[in-house]
Amino acid sequence: MNALRSVNYDGFMSLEWDPKWMEEIGEPDIIFPQFAEYLKSFGSPDKNKKPCLYNESGTGKYVWKKDVVIEKTFSQVLDEMVDRFPDQYCFKYTTLDYTRTYSEFRDDVDDVARALVSLGVKAGSHVAIWTTNIPQWYLTFWATVKIGAVLVTVNTAYKIHEIEYLLKQSDTHTLVMIDSFKDSDYADAIKRLCPELENTVPGKPLHCKKLPMLRNVITVGFKMQGCLEWNEAMLRAADIPVERIHRMAQEVDIHDVCNMQYTSGTTGFPKGVMLTHYNVVNNGKYIGDHMDLSTADRMMIQVPMFHCFGMVLSMTSSMTHGATMCPMPYFSPKSSLACINQEHITAFNGVPTMFIAMMQHADFEKTDFSHMRVGIMAGANCPADLMKLAATGRMNMKQIVSVYGQTEASPGCTMSSYYDDLTVRTETVGSAFANVECKVIDPETGLDVPDGVNGEFVARGYNIMKGYYKMPEATAAAIDEDGWLHSGDLACRDKDGNYRITGRLKDMIIRGGENIYPKEIEEFIYTNPKVKDVQVIGVPDKQYGEEIMACIILKDGEEMTEKEMKDFIVASLAKHKVPRYIDFVKEFPMNAAGKILKYKMREEAAEKLGLNN
C-alpha cells in the first residue's frame, strides 16, 4: 500500500498521507519518527488546508493561481493571508514605529473599524483620508472597506478650494487628516470651511453649513477644536463588539464600491471614479502575478497612496501575494536608498523622476541593490533608456516591468511581465491583462485599426469602473454602450500583441494638417547625452494652427543653445517634426502623483510667447 496519495484541492495537485495506510500500520510519527517528518513535508491530511504555490525561484509562497480572477473582498483577501501566513511581516516602516505581522495588522484593522462604527460610519458611508503614506492611511483603508464603507482618497497637494469641492461632491461622512504637508495647510483649510468645529464637542456629530454631510473629523498627530485625535478615536473601539465588525464584513459584496479616486481635473471639475472590490483586488492580483510577487518579496512603497500607483500597483499587488510592505511616508531619495539597504528591498515602483532622483543622489553608489529584482516604472513618460539603466545598471532591477492604464480602469489594462525580454519590458507597455479586452480604434469612425497604426486605446472587462459619482453624463461619455472605456490615449499594437502609447488625443499636434505625435520627438531628444528630461507640447500658431515646442531639462552642469538642439533634431527627424520653439527649463509642472501637467505647460508657454493675443 502506498503511504502517499495524490489529491486535488481547487485545481491544485498535492500529496497527503493515505488514511488507509495509517489505519493499517499506525501513526507514522510513532513507528517511523524520521520518516514521519519526511511525510509531513508533503502536507497535512487536513482537507481544509490548501496548498500554496511557489514563486519562480522557489523562495516564496503565494496563494492564487496566476491570471485567474478571484471573487474576494478586501477583507477576505486579508483573512486568507492571515490564515496562510499569520507570522509573515505585513508592514515594516523604517522611518516610523510601526511593524506588524499579517495577524497583528488585521487586529489593528478590526479596532479601527470598531472606532469608525462607533462614530456612525456604516455600509455605504464615505470616509476621506487626507494624509501621506503613514500607517493610519492603510489602517483607515482596510477598516473602511471591511465594513462596506467607501474610502475617498485625497490628493496631498490639495488646498482649500479643492478639498471643499471634494468633500462636498463626495458626500464625505468622516475625514481623517494630518495637519499639513509641504505648502498645504490642512488644519487651516478645515477650520475655515467648518467654523462650527469651535462649538462642537469632540466625538459628537459635526454640523457644517459648507459641508452638510460631514459628521466627524479625526486628526492624526495633532489636536484641533471639535475633533477627536486618532488615539482618542481608537479608545471608542471598546464600545463596539468585534463580532459586529465580522458580521458587517460578511455582508459586503465583491461588486460594492470600495474606493473613490478623483481624477486630476485637467479639464472641467474633478470626477470621483467609483471602483469596486472586484475591480481593484483583481487588478492588483494580476499585477502581482506578473511581477512574480510572493512572501519572499519586500516592497518599498514610495509612490503616494492616494493614487492607484500606490493603492493598487503597490499595496494591493503586495497584499494579494503575502509580501511585506515597507512604506515611505513621502518620497525622499535619501530615505528610500536607506530603506533598500536596511530591509534588503526586492521591489519598488516609481515614476521616472523618482528613479532619476535616486540615481543622482550621493548615497546611490553605496546602496546595496543585490536583493533588488523587480519594479514598475509608470505614471509618466517612461524613457526606454532609463528603464534599461534601472534593469542593467547598479539598481539591479533585472525584471523591471511597465503598466499602462488609467484610474477609470482600476487602473491597469496592459502590462509587460517579469519573464518578457528586455525590449518588450522597456519599449512597450506590454500586452492586455488576462480577462480584459483591449484594442485600438480610429477615433473618428470607431472602427478597429490594423496593427502598427495609431488610434485611440479602448478597453473593457472586470477592471472598468462602476462610473463617476453623481455624474451619469460624464460616465456615458467615457464608457460607450458596448462597455468600452475610451481612454483618450493614442496607441498602436504590434504583431505580437504588445502596445505602445504614442500620446494623448489632446496632445496630438496638428501642424498644417500633419498629425505629429509628441512622444516620438520626446524619445529622440532624450537620446541626446546632455538631456535629463523632455516634454513636447503644441502651442498656438496663426499660420499652421499649432507649432511644436520642446521643453528640456538639461543634466546638471550641462549647457546647450537652441541652435545646437535644433541641429541635433533636424539631422535625424523630418523637418515638420523639428520644434519651432526650444525652452530650457529647470522643472515641469506636476501634480502630487508625479504626473506632468501638459495642459499647464501649454498655458504657460502660450503666455510666455505672447501667443494668446
- Cα(169)–Cα(471) distance, rounded to whole angstroms? 10
Q: What is the pLDDT of residue 330?
A: 96
* Band of residue 466 on the pLDDT scale cut at 50, 70, 90: very high
CA atoms in the 13 A half-sphere facing the CB of 71: 2
* Summary mean pLDDT of the chain: 90
pLDDT over 80 (residue 186): yes
* The 99-101 sheet, strands edge to edge: 99-101, 89-92, 324-327, 298-301, 347-350, 374-377
Q: What is the pLDDT of residue 599?
A: 82
> In 249-373, where do the E strands start and end?
257-262, 272-276, 298-301, 324-327, 347-350
* Band of residue 543 on the pLDDT scale cut at 50, 70, 90: confident
Radius of gyration of the chain (CA): 26
**Mean pLDDT value across residues 76-81:** 98
Q: What is the pLDDT of residue 16?
A: 43
pLDDT over 60 (residue 313): yes
Helical H segments across 320-372, by residue range: 333-343, 352-359
**Mean pLDDT value across residues 448-472:** 97
- Cα(71)–Cα(2) distance, rounded to whole angstroms? 37
Q: What is the pLDDT of residue 573?
A: 83
Q: What is the pLDDT of residue 513?
A: 73
Q: What is the pLDDT of residues 561-608, one digit of tens each?
A: 999 999 999 988 888 889 999 999 999 998 777 888 888 898 899 999
Q: What is the pLDDT of residue 40?
A: 45
Helix (H) / strand (E) element for 573: namely: none
Q: What is the pLDDT of residue 613?
A: 58
Contact (CB, 8 A) for 449 and 347: no
Q: What is the pLDDT of residue 133?
A: 98
pLDDT over 50 (residue 197): yes
Strand partners, 468: 273
In Å, how far are 339, 384, 431, 432 from 496, measured between CA atoms? 38, 19, 8, 11
Longest dimension (CA), the chain: 96
Q: What is the pLDDT of residues 47-63, one digit of tens each?
A: 456 789 999 999 999 99
Q: What is the pLDDT of residue 31?
A: 42
- Candidate from 173-177, 269-273, 347-351, 414-418 with smallest mean pLDDT: 269-273
Task: Give percent of the chain above pLDDT 90.
Answer: 77
* Band of residue 20 on the pLDDT scale cut at 50, 70, 90: very low
CATH topology of domain 509-608: GMP Synthetase; Chain A, domain 3 (3.30.300)
Q: What is the pLDDT of residue 44?
A: 44
- Cα(534)–Cα(522) distance, rounded to whole angstroms? 6
pLDDT over 90 (residue 205): yes
Helix (H) / strand (E) element for 116: namely: helix 102-118
Peptide bond into 333 cis (omega under 30): no
Q: What is the pLDDT of residue 49?
A: 60
**Mean pLDDT value across residues 465-481:** 96
Q: What is the pLDDT of residues 86-99, one digit of tens each?
A: 999 999 999 999 99
Which of 179, 152, 157, 163 is closest to 211 using CA atoms? 163
pLDDT over 90 (residue 449): yes
Q: What is the pLDDT of residue 381?
A: 66
* Band of residue 38 on the pLDDT scale cut at 50, 70, 90: very low
Q: What is the pLDDT of residue 268?
A: 62
**Mean pLDDT value across residues 278-305:** 98
Domain boundaries, the chain: 4-51, 74-262, 509-608
- Cα(199)–Cα(459) distance, rounded to whole angstroms? 50
- Cα(605)–Cα(588) distance, rounded to whole angstroms? 12
Q: C-alpha cell of 36?
A: 514521519
Q: What is the pLDDT of residue 264?
A: 64
Helix (H, G, I), strand (E, B) or coil at 126: strand
**Mean pLDDT value across residues 381-403:** 93
* Band of residue 512 on the pLDDT scale cut at 50, 70, 90: confident
Q: What is the pLDDT of residue 353?
A: 86
Contact (CB, 8 A) for 391 and 398: yes
Q: What is the pLDDT of residue 534?
A: 95
- Cα(525)–Cα(568) distance, rounded to whole angstroms? 8
**Residue 472 CB neighbour total at 10 angstroms:** 9
**Mean pLDDT value across residues 310-323:** 98
Q: What is the pLDDT of residue 51?
A: 82
- Cα(465)–Cα(279) distance, rounded to whole angstroms? 7
CA atoms in the 13 A half-sphere facing the CB of 548: 28
480-489, long-range: CB within 8 Å, 24+ apart, which pairs?
Answer: 484/458, 484/459, 484/460, 485/406, 485/408, 485/409, 485/458, 485/459, 485/460, 486/456, 486/458, 487/406, 487/409, 487/413, 487/456, 487/457, 487/458, 487/459, 488/456, 489/406, 489/456, 489/457
CATH of 74-262, one of 3.40.228.10, 3.80.10.10, 3.40.50.10470, 3.40.50.12780: 3.40.50.12780
pLDDT over 70 (residue 141): yes
pLDDT over 70 (residue 434): yes
Phi, psi of 267 (to 5 degrees): -135, 130
